[in-house]
Each structure stands twice: as structure tokens, then as C-alpha cells.
Structure 1
């Protein structure tokens, strides 16, 4: 008699992907969604499970961090039922069908343009970086937007060794990491903050001088600067442009004041050849995979070069309260939510 033929065979990732699309239909999970016309803006609600594309992994999210920009968008601009969330960290639950990226069970950190505040997320593998054992998911969750912004903005200044760097908003999520990265790169740092109580922290992050002046005018005495990181806009940006060295660079990556900057261009061009560069993180990440910068950042955390400052850690059921504290500038540094 012929030998029995097994009815079982190993399925390919492509077949697993096809099966997952079928099995996920109708299944639910929890996610943060935006609500309008209510006392609560950010609310947990059941949504459909993510259905990954061939190049996407499914990540079981364990921690997320909040950024002022996305909170402001949620409160002021996002439509009802939009799912916010840029920063997340967790464990790969299903690897990508095309074979790219980390395997199942790998702890990862990732960046997404929305929907990250959820129990699970389908995310392209180019946006994921593996976590070494020494880095917690809470630390990692602080890194995507703040860390990548700091890293890319500082890179526009070139070699920072011995250079003068002015960092506005040095006590914030981006600023405190930018100070630490610039310090590790050998820069001489002037940190600008809004409140006296954050002075000691700015010095601990590597600042050589600290000013408490939202307008940045007090920084003139320490200039000119080879690199300025600016995200407030208005009069702060106008003053920053008058403090650049002959070939200095001012990187503008935000306008939290929502004010227009009135610039005396003669003070710019008479300096030599300084320049103003605008930076939008999403555009930057189209040219360089987020995984590249995230890998550098988690390595820096692992070896102690940078220490993310988590000011608030709470369960994600408190998302609305924490988000509004951040919006009202009651939180400096990073706020992290743990997902149950």
C-alpha cells in the first residue's frame, strides 16, 4: 500500500496574511477616539481590529506617550471619531507577511501618523525598531516624535562638537532630549525655558547656560549661535534669527504660540550666510525610515547617553485628564500611558 499522505502542511506568511484578513473581520478592540460636543475629548471605545497589509506587522501596544501637537489637534481640529496617537511601544503579535521586520514576540517601538493609542496596531515594518532588554516600553514610548524631532533638527547643524547651540523649550518633550543629544555630541548649550522651576533639570540635561525668557531676548548675551532649535514662533523666532553666527542655522519645527514672526531681514543677511530651515517630521520620515533614528535613540538610552524624562505615568483610562493637563502646559517632559 502507498504511504499515507499527511493532510497538514506549513503555511506561508502570505497565506497567514490572507487568513488573518478573514479572521479579523467583525472582531473588536479598544482604542482612544476623539469626541466632540462633550466634556470628554479623548475616550476609550471599541473599534475594529487592525487588518495588516503585506508589509505590516501587528503590534500589541503596551505603552504610548502623548505629544502636545497631537493633543492640540485632537482638541481643536480633529473630527469626531478620529483615532489619535503617534508614539507607541509593545510586542509584535504577528510579523509582516512579506518577511520584513521583527519576528513575533519581539519588543518594539514605533512611529505612526495616527491610531497608535490602541490595544493593537497594524504598522509598516520600516517604522519599527527593536528594543534591547535594558530599555523599558515606557522609556521607548517617549522617543518617536520627540526623539526623532530632536535628532533630525540637531542633524541639520552638522558636526556639533564645540558648536554653540540654543534650544528653546528645553524643558519640553523634544527640548530635554535635544539637550542631552547635543551634550553627548560635544556642543555648548544654552537652554531656554518658561519657568524657573525647570532650571535644575535643564542643567542636568547638559545645558551650560539657562535662560528663563519666552521671547529668547535674554539669549543674545551668549550668542551668536551655530544652531538654534525653535518651536514657539512669533517673537521668539524673530529674535532667534538675529542671533545666528555667520553660517548658523535656525531650525523651526513648530509654532506653539500661533503668533506671526515679524523679521527684520537686514539683521539676517548682514550677518553673512545664515539660514532658516523648516522641518516637518512626517516629511522627514518619508526620506528616512523611522526605524533608523529609533534604533539610534534606543541604543543611546541603553548605554545611558540619554534619559527620557517621564513626568507622568498613568493607565490609559486617564487619557482625557492627562491630555488636558498637557494641553494646559501643566506637564513638562513626557506623559506615558500604560495600556491594560
Structure 2
């Protein structure tokens, strides 16, 4: 089968190659991949790799062979989900806990844009507790996780605030269904505008430090990433003087041992109902993987890039 492989000695560092078709374990289905989307973490790792491997987390496709234990949907079922590695390929294997059926009316590109970004957003918001009427601030709001988090928080009845330097983000958030989003250009500006019951941060560094000082009493900051690649240095006095303020970490890798199918079904259902719009910036053939990866690491993508496997 054809795959995308890292090639540390070449330029570009990502290219199509040949590899054996994966052999599923008894609890895994063999899935023919139709599309996959890119996530910043996996792309950065692939671009910096010193060994050759097949990257990829998200995918959407069709079950070629159901799991021998009968736990997965049958052959011919349209499914989507994510794996720890290897989805940038014509075939991937996945267990029932990491996939869900794609509802009628939802395309492969839409489904492929969901898994890691939307599950991260949903899990982060769920970990913060009820959101109705609460002030929710999302940093890095122009990215995939950020766009999903803004809309999911809005659907849960929160007052949505976002941080992004992208001038067109307010327009895009309104297109996503958020009637009156408030967008700040810096975290400092957001802090000056008030305090927040929930803050979702995937930027890290100075953003996280400022976020901790912007929490309302009993507020929670959920840290799910470190896009800046920098450590956070903050004054603990500003943090612990806020009654009940807390910092919570969330890493999607911990979900790999859990059953993610309920969240995947819920997200796909919201898309099918027209309540959640996957923020797809562009859909490209997977032969454009090198250019697509450069666009993502260059931060010139609004939302998600999806690549189709042909």
C-alpha cells in the first residue's frame, strides 16, 4: 500500500512511499482510508523526525474487514476516528473504542476533520464542569481545537471569549454559529477585560501564565497543549489568592486506553444535525502532504487541513 513516510535525509521531509498493509489484531478492523486531517503536534514531530515512520492520527474511511471478535462495525461501514500513529496511509487498523460510524449526510472530509481536535475540545470542556452562563475563554482560537471549543462552549450555553491575532476570526466564528463572539488579540487584553470561569489553553508559555491570573473564583484553566514550545513562568500569589482557582492538565494520549467512541458518535451527530460545522480551511490531495505540512507549521491555516487519499 501507499503511505506518507518521514524521510529525515530528504527535502521535503514527507513523501509518499510503499509499505506492507497492516495486519489487524483480533479486536481491530482493517479500514480503507479516504481522508485524514493534520494536527499541529503530529506534523511538528514528523517534520523533526530523525527516523522513518508513518505519521498520522485522524482518519475517515470504510471498513474493509471487521474485527475477528465482532466488536467493530461490519465491512462496508463508513467510520472515522484516530490512532496513536499511522493514519497517513491507504489502510489503517483500529479498535472499536477509537472509531465511530459516520452518519448519513456527513462527508469523509468533514469526519476526518473531527477526531483529535474536536475530542480534545470536548474533553477539555467536559472536564471543566457545567458551562451554562459561564464565561469561557479559549486561547489559540483560530486553530482546530480552538474553533471546535468555541462552538461547543456556545452550544453548552457559555459566554464565549476568544484570543487570536487573526483579524477575520470574529467572522469565522459567526459562520460557525456563534452569534456574538468576543475576540481579543492578546491574552493581556483578555485579562484586562475581566475574569473567566473556564479558560482553555493550548498555547502555553506566557499565555498560560497570564491565563492563571485571569481566573475567576472557583475558575479552572485546562491546559491541553503547548503550541509555543515554551515553559510558563507565573507569580503563584496571583493564582492562589483567587479562591478555588485551579489548573488542570489534559493530554489526549491518556484517552488512547479509554473508550472514545461515545464522544466520536456525539460529535458526528452534531455535524449531521447541522449544529457543529467542521472548520475546514482546505481539502487537498495527499500528494500535497509536504506543502500542507509547511502551511500548518507556518501558522497560515484557519481551522483544519484535510487530505484525501486517492
Shift of 1:37: 2.1
Q: Could you tell me which residue of structure 1 aligns to residue 201 of structure 2?
A: 230
Equivalent residue pairs, number: 308
- Find the partner of 2:283 among 296, 299, 313: 313
Distance (Å, rounded) in 2 between the aligned partners of 1:285 and 1:81: 23
> Which range is displaced more, 155-164 or 193-202?
193-202
Q: Could you tell me which residue of structure 2 aligns to residue 325 of structure 1?
A: 295
Q: With CA pairs under 8 Å and 6+ residues apart, which has the higher RCO, 1 or 2?
A: 2
Q: Could you tell me which residue of structure 1 aligns to residue 56 of structure 2?
A: 85
Contact 1:70 1:85 in 2 (8 A): yes
Any idea what the Cα deviations from partners look like across 1:223-277, whole Å, max 9, x if unmatched?
Answer: 3111100011111111000011111110111111112211111111111111101
Describe the SS at the equivalent of 2:247. Answer: strand
Any idea what the Cα deviations from partners look like across 1:283-323, whole Å, max 9, x if unmatched?
Answer: 0342x312111111000101111100111111101111111
After the TM superposition, which segments of 4 or more aligned residues of structure 1 sit over 4 Å from their partners? none
- Find the partner of 1:208 among 181, 193, 202: 181
Unaligned runs of 5+ in 2: none
Describe the SS at the equivalent of 1:196. Answer: coil
TM-score by length of 2: 0.97
Describe the SS at the equivalent of 1:199. Answer: helix
Describe the SS at the equivalent of 1:114. Answer: coil
- Find the structure with the greater CA-based Rg: 1
Q: Could you tell me which residue of structure 2 aligns to residue 337 of structure 1?
A: 307
Distance (Å, rounded) in 2 between the aligned partners of 1:202 and 1:132: 24
Q: Could you tell me which residue of structure 2 aligns to residue 298 of structure 1?
A: 268
TM-score by length of 1: 0.88
Distance (Å, rounded) in 2 between the aligned partners of 1:139 and 1:132: 11
Contact 2:170 2:181 in 1 (8 A): no
Q: Could you tell me which residue of structure 1 aligns to residue 4 of structure 2?
A: 32
Contact 1:56 1:95 in 2 (8 A): yes
Distance (Å, rounded) in 1 between the aligned partners of 2:275 and 2:209: 32
CA RMSD of aligned residues (A): 1.1
Describe the SS at the equivalent of 1:61. Answer: strand
